[in-house]
Amino acid sequence: MSAATTRSRTPDRLCAEAVDLARAAAEEAAAPGVVGEHVSVVSEGDRVVTHFFECKDPAYRGWRWAVTVTRASRAKLVTLDETVLLPGDDALLAPEWVPWSERLRPGDLGPGDLLPTEADDLRLEPGWTGEDAPPPNSVVSEEMAELVEAEDADVADRTVVPVRGSITSVAEELGMRRARVLSRYGLHSAADRWDEGFGAKTPMAQAAPASCVSCGFLVAIGGSLGQAFGVCANEFSPADGRLVSLSYGCGGHSEAAVMPKPPRPAPPVLDSMASDEFLLRPAPDTGSVPVSDLPPSDLGHS
């Protein structure tokens, strides 16, 4: 039989009448003047009743003081069980708590903050730590090492044979000695995120005269992401220093616009068919005009 079926729906009469006892308990727990009208009484079970009082504290609008009273079987004395403040149907409640890991947003991480990465983070997968046995055809496998050493022994005129590096040092050299590396999921989610900010579908790319793949300011990156992304190095571009999709583009594309040539004045025109006469020194002031300065009509020329 379930607990619900054992409960009496009709409140115990003596317990229901103990309103003053319940109010005194509520006022003892609350601040003075905070307990309001008696709102309701609810049966919690056999001889167990809860009295609800209005809460007049403005900080707890809609909340109610709940005082539970009870009595023993065949006893007439009603005693206090517990006093608690509970939210009513229209109570003002704080928003549901959300774990910090779900609340975190890009840009929240500040200087000195530490952001732990969970062990089962889907964006990461185990890297090569040096404890794994490489496959036989790997360049760092034991089989390949013996093969290389055998070949080196055959080289008679070689005086100094380079020492073969250990697996760990080779892995370190190649940047492979990390506990975890980006998983396929992590790689795709990063690519999607970058493509959203600096991809072909952005308004800037749609209005660009050409895409980054043909731009001289694009710095290529290695790895599989290098097939789709590069780094913009144009200080006037909105994507300067950012990873851009090869299909992104902006008006700063190196080949998009050609600078207009500076205006050049027309070359001087040389008339070599006629000569002009110039006096070597000023003419003496005789009051007469030099013949050479007279117009042709004064010389009798028509």
User: Pick from 171, 215, 229, 243: which binds ligand SF4 (CB under 6 A)?
Assistant: 215
DSSP codes, 231-242: EE--TTSTTBTS
* 248 part of the interface to ligand SF4, by CB under 6 A: yes
Residue matched to tokens 């005009």: 289
CB within 8 Å of 290: residues ≥ 6 apart: 279, 283
d(CA 216, CA 163): 42
What is the closest distance, in whole angstroms, from the C-beta atom of residue 190 to ligand SF4 in the complex?
A: 19
CB within 8 Å of 126: residues ≥ 6 apart: 179, 180, 181
Smallest CA-to-CA distance from 291 within 277, 281, 280 is with 277
Stretch binding ligand SF4 (CB under 6 A), from 18-26, 33-41, 63-71, 241-249:
241-249
Beta-sheet pairing, 48-55 with 63-70? antiparallel
User: Pick from 34, 78, 171, 239: which binds ligand SF4 (CB under 6 A)?
Assistant: 239
User: Pick from 218, 228, 243, 284: which binds ligand SF4 (CB under 6 A)?
Assistant: 218
User: Pick from 15, 67, 212, 243: which binds ligand SF4 (CB under 6 A)?
Assistant: 212
d(CA 69, CA 26): 12
For ligand SF4, the closer of residues 45 and 226 by Cβ is 226
* 249 part of the interface to ligand SF4, by CB under 6 A: yes
Stretch binding ligand SF4 (CB under 6 A), from 14-22, 110-118, 137-145, 233-241:
233-241
d(CA 65, CA 80): 14
State which of positions 154-183 bind ligand SF4 (CB under 6 A).
Answer: none
The H or E element spanning position 229 is strand 229-232
The tokens for 65 are: 């003081």
* 234 part of the interface to ligand SF4, by CB under 6 A: yes
Burial of 95 by CB count in 10 Å (0-12 exposed, 13-18 middle, 19+ buried)? exposed
For ligand SF4, the closer of residues 168 and 247 by Cβ is 247
* 253 part of the interface to ligand SF4, by CB under 6 A: yes
What is the closest distance, in whole angstroms, from the C-beta atom of residue 242 to ligand SF4 in the complex?
A: 8
Counting residues that bind ligand SF4 (by CB under 6 A) gives 14
What is the closest distance, in whole angstroms, from the C-beta atom of residue 117 to ligand SF4 in the complex?
A: 31
Binding interface with ligand SF4 (CB under 6 A) = 212, 215, 217-218, 232, 234, 237, 239, 244, 248-250, 252-253
